[in-house]
Structure 1
Amino acid sequence: MERHIVHCDLDTFFVSVERLQRPDLIGKPVLVGGSAGRGVVASCSYEARQFGVHSAMPMKQALQLCPEAILVRGDHDKYAQYSRMVTEIIAGSAPVFEKASIDEHYMDLTGMDKYFSCWKWARELRQKIIRETGLPISFGLSSGKTVSKIATGLAKPCGELYVVPGEEKTFLAPLPVKKIPMAGKQTVQKLARMGIHKIEAIQKIDVSVMERALGVHGVSLWKKANGLDDAPVVPHGERKSLSKEWTFEQDLSDQDQLQQYVKTMVDDLTFSLRREGRLCACVTLKMRYSNFETFTRQLTIPYSCSERVIAQKALELLQQAYKPGTKIRLIGIRLSELVSGSYQIDLFNDVLTDINLSKAMDGIRNKYGTELIRRGQRVQRSRKDDAQRVSA
């Protein structure tokens, strides 16, 4: 049976969400991300890209390339909300879909063409998403995930592209090797030294050449270059982790301050767990020193959503990572191995006043927002801090 795989991607997603709130940003170079001094570009408008700006670029460099750009601090809660809106629309229409990231999805429409044109269906779904969310979105349709993803990239901004089955090799041939999703910078450089710059060159050589040069990775690249991709669309599942991290405007070395950042992040994350009816069984600490050396360590815990229990483990990890006098650039907490469930009181460890306090604080947050109240000392959030990140 002929496969029909759709890949769709929300165009400059963070920027587009911000423009819904601020129409004055439309048509202007916009950068979404952290501070000008220490942050990176999370998303940038097409107007900014014309100056050579791209995602993951240091914000300082981006502003040097495009001084007139408007810097907007990210709001991941807001982006997650719009992402869920799009996912819900897709879930209500697509027979099988996979949420690949906060702003992109794959859909398997195989077999649908017996009853309805897959191309027409995808176009109508795209218009529905635009109409109901106000967000621009592009999609590619082909027989496999790789070609569809590449087609989406070529369809942008806010476009659509269909690669007819049997035309995959012809479509891919003139494109640069870097267009293959799994072709990283080092791989592209190695292929360039072999005289391979276009996908067509990979198509013309024997797979054994690619295997000798790049091993198993080379074989996979060769298959993708020839439009051979039977990777399945993995049905959408629930979120597997929650995380937050801060990149400091100035490196920190004070242990008390670091502890307070950890407590504040745990406070926010455990509130999210309880709001979603989730428990976690693994706590991970990430710490990046000023020399960019990164420490990552985790601890397993009984399933919990208690600030006190989780903060205790996170602070144990901080104690392991902390080196007196060492400058810290970034700190983050991730809660993983999430399951659905209500919080079970641990009679040996929990204090009733803590449980009642959590319930009271959750009620206030649900009514007035998460910024109004926190347990213990409040961490003063500088506008220069990098945006918090929530993983999906």
Structure 2
Amino acid sequence: MSIPQRIIAHFDLDAFFVSVECLNNPSLKGLPLIVGGRERGVVAACSYEARKFGIHSAMPMKTALRLCPHATVVKGTRGEYSRYSRWVTDIIANKAPLFEKASIDEFYLDLTGMDKYFNPYQWTIDLRQEIIDKTGLPISFGLAANKMVAKIATDEAKPNGYLHIAFGREKEFLAPLKVNKIPGVGESTFHTLRDLGVETIADVALLPIELLENRFGKYGADLWHKAHGIHHSEVVPFHEAKSISTESTFEENVLDTERLMNELVRMTERVAYELRQDNKMAGCVAVKIRYPDFETTSRQTSIDYTSYDDELIPKAKDLFHKLYRKGQPVRLLGVRLSELVDEAVQTNLFSDVEKKTELYKAIDDVKNRFGTKSLTKAAGK
């Protein structure tokens, strides 16, 4: 029995933060628009009109405004980005047999086997149109035999377009592109490759695999395979996406609410720390309570995507107070973070979280050096 040829679609919402701002305020459409901090901050996102002036995300705001003094700057509404992201996720979930939410604005769909029943390319075009019609958001996609080629195809199709790379045409498609179009090829690798006389992906494909292995180790072989359009990474089902959780079973049943709250804060801090170590954000928090008679109750709530203690702890406390039967001792307490997505770099660039991001980096550095118990928060009420 032959293995069916893989068919992978990669969807990416175009200039997502900017698109949401323009939907909520249509007068911004067509302007050189910057989403991000004040003059001392950095660019979280920018419109294609702003990019023409050389502006890009993570650029200091002063530099951006020097390049384009007439640019319009908006602070950004993180809650709205979470709302629109979930809207698109729901549309995809209703149609796709298997999909992975890679980040707040990026999705992989595994359509393998669907070609027995209908044209996967037309199906993907129709899904894209449904997303546009329902949400108003521009979205691009690439369709190919693997995740890497599909992602690169999406980048080539932007803005607001789509591209199908037929099976067997991967090398031909990749050949003329700059080598840093390959996901994972950063500035350092790019400069090293240029020193070897490599400019395009075709140049990498022509190099002996042994040479790349000598220069880059195991990554060299991976790079050689990618240059040949070979990539085996699987689409990770969204409903099975890893969650991060922790539970505490007390040696003796606990009636003291203050002690329970202290434990809840400690556990939430721990899972938030793990989340940041994995460079993830959570879109859902849940709390579980088990009583001495083993009756177990749990409750969860959707949240704006975050990995910060001070945003997760109040949600966990609120869930606890809604769940807890007053006056009842507790045998077990648990906290779980789910709906995990890769941390979007831009979400750390808004003025309201820039300083917070640096603070948590400092906190995590201390925890990494001296242990996770070296810094803890007071529980409060």
TM-score by length of 1: 0.65
| CA distance in 2 between partners of 1:388 and 1:153 (Å) | 31
Which residue number in structure 1 is paired with residue 7 of structure 2? 4
| CA distance in 1 between partners of 2:353 and 2:164 (Å) | 39
Which residue number in structure 2 is paired with residue 96 of structure 1? 98
Deviations 1:253-308 (A, max 9, x none): xxxxxxxxxxxxxxxxx9xx9xxxxx84626579xxxxxxxxxxxxxxxx9699xx
Residue 180 of structure 1 aligns with an amino acid whose one-letter code is I
Match of 2:220 among 218, 221, 227: 218
Residue 172 of structure 1 aligns with an amino acid whose one-letter code is L
Q: Secondary structure at the match of 1:196?
A: coil
Whether 2:129 is the aligned partner of 1:116: answer: no
Deviations 1:305-364 (A, max 9, x none): 99xxxxxxxxxxxxxxxxxxxxxxxx975759x99x96364989x9xxxxxxxxxxxxxx
| CA distance in 2 between partners of 1:188 and 1:195 (Å) | 11
Whether 2:24 is the aligned partner of 1:21: answer: yes
Superposition deviation, residue 82 in structure 1: 0.1
Aligned length: 283
Alignment of 1:1-392 (within 5 A): 1-37=4-40, 39-237=41-239, 240=243, 280=268, 282=270, 333=310, 335=312, 343=320, 345=324, 385-386=352-353
Superposition deviation, residue 220 in structure 1: 1.0
RMSD: 3.5
Q: Is the 8 A contact 2:36 2:351 kept in 1?
A: no
Residue 13 of structure 1 aligns with an amino acid whose one-letter code is F
Deviations 1:177-233 (A, max 9, x none): 010011011000110111111100111112111111111111111111111011100
| CA distance in 2 between partners of 1:153 and 1:86 (Å) | 19
Task: Pick the structure with more helix per residue.
Answer: 2
Q: 1:7 to 1:16 in 2, by over 3 A?
A: same
| CA distance in 2 between partners of 1:169 and 1:188 (Å) | 19
Deviations 1:21-66 (A, max 9, x none): 11111111001111221x2211110000001111121222111111
Superposition deviation, residue 83 in structure 1: 0.2
Residue 69 of structure 2 aligns with an amino acid whose one-letter code is P
Which residue number in structure 2 is paired with residue 255 of structure 1? none
Deviations 1:164-187 (A, max 9, x none): 000000000000001001101100
| CA distance in 2 between partners of 1:209 and 1:285 (Å) | 40
Residue 282 of structure 1 aligns with an amino acid whose one-letter code is R
Q: Is the 8 A contact 2:75 2:351 kept in 1?
A: no
| CA distance in 1 between partners of 2:91 and 2:76 (Å) | 24
Which residue number in structure 2 is paired with residue 365 of structure 1? none
Q: Is the 8 A contact 1:283 1:333 kept in 2?
A: no
| CA distance in 2 between partners of 1:163 and 1:78 (Å) | 34
| CA distance in 1 between partners of 2:49 and 2:97 (Å) | 36
Q: 1:76 to 1:389 in 2, by over 3 A?
A: farther
| CA distance in 1 between partners of 2:57 and 2:73 (Å) | 13
| CA distance in 2 between partners of 1:47 and 1:182 (Å) | 27
Instruction: Return 5+ residue gaps in structure 2 as ranges.
Output: 246-263, 275-285, 290-307, 330-349, 358-381
| CA distance in 2 between partners of 1:305 and 1:32 (Å) | 38
Superposition deviation, residue 68 in structure 1: 1.0
Q: 1:105 to 1:239 in 2, by over 3 A?
A: same
Q: Is the 8 A contact 1:76 1:388 kept in 2?
A: no
Instruction: Return 5+ residue gaps in structure 1 as ranges.
Output: 243-269, 274-278, 287-302, 307-330, 351-382
| CA distance in 1 between partners of 2:356 and 2:112 (Å) | 35
Deviations 1:121-140 (A, max 9, x none): 00000000000000000000
| CA distance in 2 between partners of 1:389 and 1:116 (Å) | 49
Q: Is the 8 A contact 1:130 1:136 kept in 2?
A: yes
Q: Is the 8 A contact 1:285 1:334 kept in 2?
A: no
Q: Is the 8 A contact 2:6 2:111 kept in 1?
A: yes
| CA distance in 1 between partners of 2:243 and 2:50 (Å) | 33
Residue 112 of structure 1 aligns with an amino acid whose one-letter code is M
Which residue number in structure 2 is paired with residue 369 of structure 1? none
Q: Is the 8 A contact 2:244 2:271 kept in 1?
A: no
Residue 16 of structure 2 aligns with an amino acid whose one-letter code is F
| CA distance in 2 between partners of 1:74 and 1:141 (Å) | 31
Residue 39 of structure 2 aligns with an amino acid whose one-letter code is A
